[in-house]
Every structure is written in C-alpha cells, then in structure tokens.
Amino acid sequence: MDIINFIEQEFADLLTAKLFKLGESSVSIASIIELIVSLVIAIFISNLVSNLLKQRLLVKLGIDEGNREAIAVIVRYASTALGLIVVLQGIGFDLGSLAVVAGGLGVGIGFGVQDLTTNFVSGLTLLFDRPVKVGDYIEIENLSGTVKEISIRSTIIKTPDDSAVIVPNSAMIGNKIINWSYESSNCCLRIPVSVAEGSDPLKVTEALLNAAYMEAAVLYNPNPRVAFVGFGDDGFKFELVVWINQPHQRDFIKSALNYAIEYSFRQNKIEFPTNDRELWLRNAEVLMPIFNKVVENGQVKKTQETETTEIPVSQLSISEMLRQVVYFQNLNDIELRQLIEVGYRQRLQQSQILFRENDPGDAFYIVLEGAVEVYVEKINKHLVNLTAGKFLGELALMLGIPRTATVRALEETTVFAINKTGFQKLLSEHPELYEQIVQELAKHQEELTARQKQLREMGLVDATEDDQNPVNWVRKRLANLFSLSQVS
C-alpha cells in the first residue's frame, strides 16, 4: 500500500508541478488537461445550441435558410468565445496576463497570420453585412454555384456539377460577385435567334412566344418578350427574353428553350438563315476547256462510275419507338423529348433478370439492342421473345400493376427505361400530359376494366380511388400513384 500511495503522490505532484507562469498564473499539466476538457465541452455545447437554433427554433419562426445560417454561425462563434473566457477564468488563469503575452506576440504573429486575419474579418463582414447568404446562387471569377456554408474563414460553393469549391472569404469580399438570388431568385435569360430574310416578323414573334410558354420553368410574370434586334448579313436577328426562378438550372432551361424554338419554327415553317453565297466569275471563258473535257458529242461523260447500293433501313430512334406506344403516340416532339430526358439506358448480360413475376410495376422498358424472353417462372412457361423496338411494362408503370411474368436477357441487351420517379417528375412539371394519357387510356376501357378487376382481387385498389367508371378510376389512380392530387 505504501508503494501505491507513493506512486499516487508522485503522479499527483507531477500533474500539479508548475511548468511555467503566465503573469501571476501558474501553468501545470493538470491545468492544461482541465483547459482542454473544458474547451471541448464548451465547443460541444456551442455547436449543440447553434444546431438547435438553425434546425428547429429559427425554422419554427419562419426565418429563411440564409438568415438561419448567419444567425447560427454568429451564435456559435460568440458562444465559443464566451465559453473560452469562462473556462480560462474558471481554472484560475488571469486574462490580464494573457493580454500582456498576446500583446507581446501580436506584432510577430500578425505578419504570419495576415491572410487568416483578412479571411476572419471578411467572414464577419459576410455574416453581418450579408451581401451573400446561404442558399444564394452566385457567380464569382468564372465560378458559379449555390452557397452551402459561410464560416469565419471560408465559404463553400456547390457547383452545378456537384463539386464543392472552398473560396477564401477575402476573395468573396474583394471580387465582384453576381448574386442571382439577391432580393429575388428571378433571373433573366436572353436567347438570340436569327431567321432567314423574308420571314414575317410577326409570325416569328408569335412562334418564339409559343416556344417560351412550352417550357414549364419560364415565369408568366414578368411575361416573356421578343425583341427585334436588327438586320444581319443573311437574315433578321431576334432575341427571346424570359425570366426564371431557378438560376442553377439556367443552362438546362436554355437547352429546353432551344429545343422548343426549333420545334415551333418547324411547325410554322420558319427557316433559319443559311450561308449560301453566289459566286461570280470574271473571264469565265478561261475555265471552258475544263468543262469541255466532260462533254463529248452533246453527252455528259461519267467521270466516275457510281455504285448503286441498297440503303438499309435505319434503326428506329427512341422517339419513333415511343410513338408506337399507343399511350404516347399523340405526344408532340417537345413532350417526347421530355419523356426521353427522364429515361435512362440499362445494360443486361446474357441470362440476367430484368424483373420477376410479382415485382412492383415501377418502370417501362423499350428494347434497344439484343432480345429478352418473357416467361412465367413458376411453371417455366415461355410466353414471347421481344427484340429491338419492342416495349413492355407501360401499363404496369402507369397503373402500378405488379409484374405478371419474369423477363430475362437472351443475349447482351440494352433497354431504355423510364421509372416511376422520372415519370412522376415529368407529370408534375407538365400536368397537361396527365390528361393526355388519361384520354388515351380511356380508349381501351375493356383492358382498363380487366386491370381494375385484377387489382381489386389483389387488394391494391385504394378506397379513395375506386370507381365503377374505369376512366374516372384511372384518373384517380394516376393522381394517387404519382402524387398528382392537385391535378383536376
């Protein structure tokens, strides 16, 4: 016991032994450990309070994301600083002596941490002055993205390609910033368009406005406008001006508008300018001997034998395949493009299962390459082989019907798929497609009645959607499956 007591006493003396002095305060190993533990607790409490403010209290008060983040960061750093002061005083450190030491080292350290100090001050400016806040979509030095976090030292920007860029706060303050979300998230898109000479400006204006209203992301207020910019060498120059409230999607919205403009011009037989040029030759007689070589006795010689080869039938495009689906056959080019955009390609190895009997009907497929076999797995009964251009599962996707058979690849196969998530996104962004599909489904009432009966027997028809009229039932079922209750 004497040895143990001796060791304990020596260990206690070691912990409490004075290492050095800060002013009138003695520093020991025990005081350093106490300081570290107390600081960790203070920082933990500070972060806890900050997160509670940001995620609960300020949300209930209806404060927007940018203000919540700014308030939470300020509270976190302020409470951390206060905790540091309380901890130092609690363990007996004389803050006056620390101030003397800090003053002595301040000049030397100041030069070494000049950039850190600049970023710190810039961070405080961003948090208090708030020219930029979390959630804003900004552009700075050829970088664009959404502000995800503003700390004392740096700002994190999430770019459209999902990369996180850490920008020093001094750069945020010292450079010009385009804040697309300042006061409002509305931003203006200008799309230059040239048309052939002789085009009717009024017809062009109407076609451009029609194209603008085809895109769901374009705002109606302010309303789209068309400007006749001027006259070019080979046509008239126009500019379509629209407003959107999704600046982070502006590149994709521009692309969608370009598709819509091309489609609208094609429908209205408006032509884009061509680069045709007329060539006038002086002293054309100099070239006559060259042309005379290919002319003999009034007949034009064949300078090169041409082979007549039969042109093979080109493979159908996805849009052409979709048009073969009765429920999509009346969609226009823009609507088909939107349907194709929400889809994806899926590769299957030989014998790989695409889906099994009784799996949820959550996707529609078109065979692009290869072949698949449809069969009943329980009794190993072959039903049919589907090759390129064939489709399956369209009704299962739209009505949420479980799979009635198993499908596997007979060889290496590529299919085009539209799943429930993509189809729901399409219908929510373009509610007019919902009614078009309902009308097409209504033309096949016998099949709808059979499918409704099948689902009733399986107990998969919700009481809120059941209806003796199969058309009313399918309208309610689509709205229920794809969260389109707002669609009437």
DSSP sequence for 279-336: ---SSGGGGHHHHHTTEETTEE--SS-----PPPPPPPPHHHHHHTSTTTTT--HHHH
Residue 276 lies in a domain: no
Task: Give the Cα separation of 265 and 415 in Å (integer).
Answer: 32
Domain range holding 325?
Answer: 318-482
Which helix (H) or strand (E) element contains residue 76? Answer: helix 65-90
Which H/E stretch holds residue 82? helix 65-90
User: Does one domain contain both 341 and 478?
Assistant: yes
Q: What residues form DSSP beta bridges with 22?
A: 25
Q: How far apart are the first and last CA of the chain?
A: 87
Q: Is the same domain home to 386 and 237?
A: no
The answer on 360 and 217 residing in a single domain is no
Phi, psi of 98 (to 5 degrees): -65, -35
For 446-449, the CB contacts below 8 A with 24+ separation are: 447/395, 448/473, 448/474
Cβ-contact 49, 79 below 8 angstroms? yes
8 A C-beta contact, residue 333 and residue 317: no
* Structural contact between residues 136 and 187, judged by C-beta atoms closer than 8 angstroms: no
Whether 169 and 250 map to the same domain: the answer is no
Task: Return the bridge partners of 146, or none.
Answer: 137, 158
Q: Which CATH number is 215's domain given?
A: 3.30.70.100
Element (H, E) at 120: helix 114-129
As a whole number of angstroms, the distance between CA 98 and CA 93 comes to: 8
Number of domains in the chain: 4
Distances from the Cα of 334 to the Cαs of 128, 337, 373, 423, in angstroms? 46, 5, 33, 15
- Whether residue 350 lies inside any domain: the answer is yes
- Among 252, 245, 180, 199, smallest CA distance to 219 is for 245
Final residue in a domain of this structure, among 161, 179, 197: 179
The pLDDT tens digits for 327-338 are: 788 788 878 888
127 φ, ψ (degrees, to nearest 5): -75, -35
Whole-angstrom distance, CA of residue 373 vs CA of residue 352: 11
Please enumerate in sequence order all residues whose Cβ is within 8 A of that of 119, keeping only pairs 6 or more positions apart, or say none. Answer: 152, 153, 154, 168, 169, 170
Which residue positions in the chain have pLDDT lower than 50?
297, 300-314, 486-488
Q: What angle (nearest 5°) sits at the alpha carbon of residue 67, between those of residues 177 and 78?
A: 105
In a domain, 11, yes or no: no
> What CATH code is carried by the domain that includes residue 147?
2.30.30.60
Residues 74 and 192 in one domain: no
> Does residue 152 sit in the same domain as residue 223?
no
Phi, psi of 338, rounded to the nearest 5 degrees: -65, -35
369, 375, 397, 408 from 382: Cα distances, Å? 21, 4, 23, 11
Q: Of 230, 229, 233, 228, nearest to 201 (Cα)?
A: 228
DSSP letter, residue 184: -
Burial of 279 (0-12, 13-18, 19+ CB in 10 A): exposed
Q: Are residues 449 and 331 in the same domain?
A: yes
Whole-angstrom CA distances from 475 to 353, 399, 486 are 32, 10, 12
Distance CA(321)–CA(311), nearest Å, equals 21
Rounded Cα distance, 194 and 212, in Å: 16
One domain, residues 459 and 378: yes
Q: Is residue 91 domain-shared with residue 219, that is, in the same domain?
A: no
Q: CA–CA separation, 84 vs 41, rounded Å?
A: 10
Q: What is the CATH number of the domain that holds 44?
A: 1.10.287
In a domain, 300, yes or no: no
Q: Does 307 reside within a domain?
A: no
How many Cα neighbours within 13 Å face the side chain of 127? 24
User: Residue 407 has what pLDDT?
Assistant: 94
CATH (domain of 472): 2.60.120.10
Is 381 inside a domain boundary? yes
Domain assignment present for 136:
yes
β-strand partners of 409: 372
Contact 189/225 with Cβ under 8 angstroms? no
Residues 357 and 473 both lie in one domain: yes
Q: Which of 56, 83, 112 is the last residue of a domain?
A: 112
- 478/414 same-domain check: yes
Task: Specify whether 327 is located in the same domain as 466.
Answer: yes
Instruction: Note whether residue 294 is domain-resident.
Output: no
Q: Which alpha helices (DSSP H) does 215-270 contain, by range?
A: 250-267
